[in-house]
């Protein structure tokens, strides 16, 4: 039987090919591109490894806190699975383009499963021009001194979305630090009323061309009032007009209200993501 070529650890000499892969799908690759542009390819700086398949990188995958297969067919996914299964699992999820994520999960599920949740259909959406609706003028960047007021909303959003309290099992300090970093770097946005967050969202990853909006949340008492739509428009407007990026996000297919809100803002679907939560 012909032995398949394996996945290899990418190095600085692969930098041009890596950039070519990332540039070929800037929206889908935003999470990885943002890391590479800031830190380069070396694992110690990158916070994970970049794996390649084929001499011309017909397959590429990021392995870190998340396993993100960006491109490649069945042979590449088998090669990435083989490399992943030869070590202790460190990722908490698989996320990325649907075709690659689901194929890679099929290869590792027997040893890594069962999954806590599989979100097989998540529309990947973009907005490159000004929002179709007026941005909420009261949505602004969160200040560092507002961390303690912002943090409960961030915890509530994470718990609702992922199904796990990020502060459980000793995670409180690391989650607080993560949120504090988003605030310090100007990527956390909120509308405060009476000192309480009623809308929040963040720019989770930002490459030189694309910014990915995440963590959109509206206080339960203020839902279905338009706050989420106008608030998302405000964050998208900041990305597009203020930072010169294309705004992107992905959303669970079953979240009909959110999908409708994003379409009202002007987002259009360009593909599909999937997420496997472990």
d(CA 249, CA 125): 5
The model's confidence at residue 1, banded by pLDDT at 50, 70 and 90, is very low
pLDDT for the residue numbered 3: 45
Q: Provide the whole-model pTM.
A: 0.93
> Cα dihedral sign for 95, 96, 98, 102?
negative
pLDDT tens readout for residues 122-164: 999 999 999 999 999 999 999 999 999 999 999 999 999 988 8
Coil, strand or helix at 131: coil
pLDDT for the residue numbered 4: 53
pLDDT tens readout for residues 31-81: 999 999 999 999 999 999 999 999 899 999 999 999 999 999 999 999 999
Q: Does the pLDDT of residue 12 top 70, yes or no? A: yes
pLDDT for the residue numbered 2: 40
pLDDT for the residue numbered 163: 87
pLDDT tens readout for residues 163-193: 889 999 888 999 999 999 999 999 999 999 9
pLDDT tens readout for residues 70-104: 999 999 999 999 999 999 999 999 999 999 999 99
pLDDT for the residue numbered 5: 73
Which stretches of the chain are assigned E, i.e. beta strand?
A: 8-9, 49-53, 59-63, 66-71, 93-97, 117-127, 140-141, 188-193, 196-206, 210-218, 246-250, 268-277
pLDDT for the residue numbered 266: 98
């Amino acid at each position: 039987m012909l032995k398949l070529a394996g996945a290899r650890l990418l190095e600085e000499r692969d930098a041009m090919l890596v950039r070519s892969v990332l540039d070929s799908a800037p929206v889908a690759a935003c999470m990885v591109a943002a890391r590479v542009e800031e830190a380069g390819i070396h694992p110690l700086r990158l916070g994970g490894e970049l794996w390649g398949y084929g001499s011309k990188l017909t397959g590429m995958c990021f392995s870190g806190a998340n396993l993100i297969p960006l491109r490649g067919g069945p042979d590449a996914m088998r090669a990435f699975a083989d490399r992943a299964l030869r070590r202790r699992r460190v990722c908490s999820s698989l996320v990325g383009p649907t075709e690659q994520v689901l194929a890679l999960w099929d290869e590792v599920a027997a040893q890594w499963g069962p999954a806590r949740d599989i979100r097989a259909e998540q529309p990947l959406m973009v907005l490159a021009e000004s929002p179709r609706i007026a941005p909420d003028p009261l949505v602004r960047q969160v200040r560092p001194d507002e961390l303690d007021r912002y943090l409960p909303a961030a915890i509530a959003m994470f718990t609702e979305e992922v199904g796990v309290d990020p502060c459980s099992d000793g995670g409180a300090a690391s989650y607080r630090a993560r949120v504090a970093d988003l605030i310090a770097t100007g990527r956390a946005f909120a509308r405060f009323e009476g000192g309480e967050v009623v809308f929040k969202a963040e720019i989770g990853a930002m490459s030189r061309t694309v910014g990915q909006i995440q963590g959109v949340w509206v206080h339960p008492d203020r839902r279905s009032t338009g706050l989420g739509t106008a608030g998302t428009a405000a964050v998208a407007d900041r990305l597009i007009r203020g930072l010169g990026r294309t705004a992107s996000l992905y959303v669970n297919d079953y979240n009909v209200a959110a999908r409708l809100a994003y379409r009202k803002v002007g987002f259009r679907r360009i593909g599909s993501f999937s997420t496997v939560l472990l």
